[in-house]
Amino acid sequence: MREAKLRVHTFSISLDGYGAGPHQSIDNPLGIGGEELHEWILPTRTFHQMGGKSGGETGIDDEFAARGFAGIGAWILGRNMFGPVRGPWPDETWRGWWGKNPPYHTPVFVLTHHARQPLRMEGDTVFHFVTGGIDDALEQAARAAGGRDVRLGGGAATIREYLQAGLVDEMHVAIAPLLLGSGEHLLGGLDLPALGYACTEHVPSAAATHVTLTKRG
């Protein structure tokens, strides 16, 4: 049995369950309206620290944001979370959305169907490109985490795949008070109780409702 837990944190969805808006593109990576899902985290001290800034608000939203970095030794991302390039990698020009110093500071395992050499960035972030599927990515990430947990960053399709396989141990969802109407749905069609999940925490703030789902057993 793997020791590392697989955790989802600060994944924002709309009231109607969408984790991204429609018509995602390089200029609009979260789709139409998608950026508004994350307004709850922008003022927090944790978000400011991620950007190398001081200040920021404390309180409920910051507490949930900070949890997502505690005890994390590696990350897993779907390919769309790494960038908009589709199909075989034409070259290694695309190096992520985040500039030279991404906010991960750990090994990051990117799910893809197309092999690519590891990409070392500033701040101890190293992107590894995994072609062996979700189990292989989790095994590699758990090993790289060195006794700490693995954070699953998304996107929605990747989280759904890990949920369907019953591999997510804990998931924090921030429900933003807006409707998107369409886009990429997070939980539609998943029978979470049958998969062993239960709501173990729900805390409202002025900007979002924070819900934690935990895998029983």
What pLDDT is attached to residue 1?
A: 41
Q: What Cα–Cα distance (Å) separates residue 27 from each residue in 24, 96, 111?
A: 8, 14, 22
Position 85 scores a pLDDT of 83
Token look-up 């090994």 returns 107
**Helix extents (H) in the chain:** 45-50, 60-67, 79-82, 134-144, 156-164
Check residue 15 and give its pLDDT.
97
| 53 exposure class (CB count in 10 Å sphere: 0-12, 13-18, 19+) | exposed
> Which token pair is 151?
């954070």
**β partners of residue 126:** 107, 120
pLDDT for position 61: 97
Contact 26, 186 (CB under 8 A): no
- Please give the model's pTM, rounded to 2 decimal places: 0.94
- Which residue stretches of the chain have pLDDT < 70? 1-2
Q: pLDDT tens across 61-103, in order?
A: 999 999 999 999 999 999 989 988 888 998 888 888 888 999 9
The per-residue pLDDT for 2 is 55
Sequence spans of domains, the chain: 6-88+103-215
Please count the CA atoms within 13 angstroms of the CA of 132 that sit on its side-chain side.
9
Question: What kind of architecture, by CATH, is found in domain 6-88+103-215?
Answer: 3-Layer(aba) Sandwich (3.40)
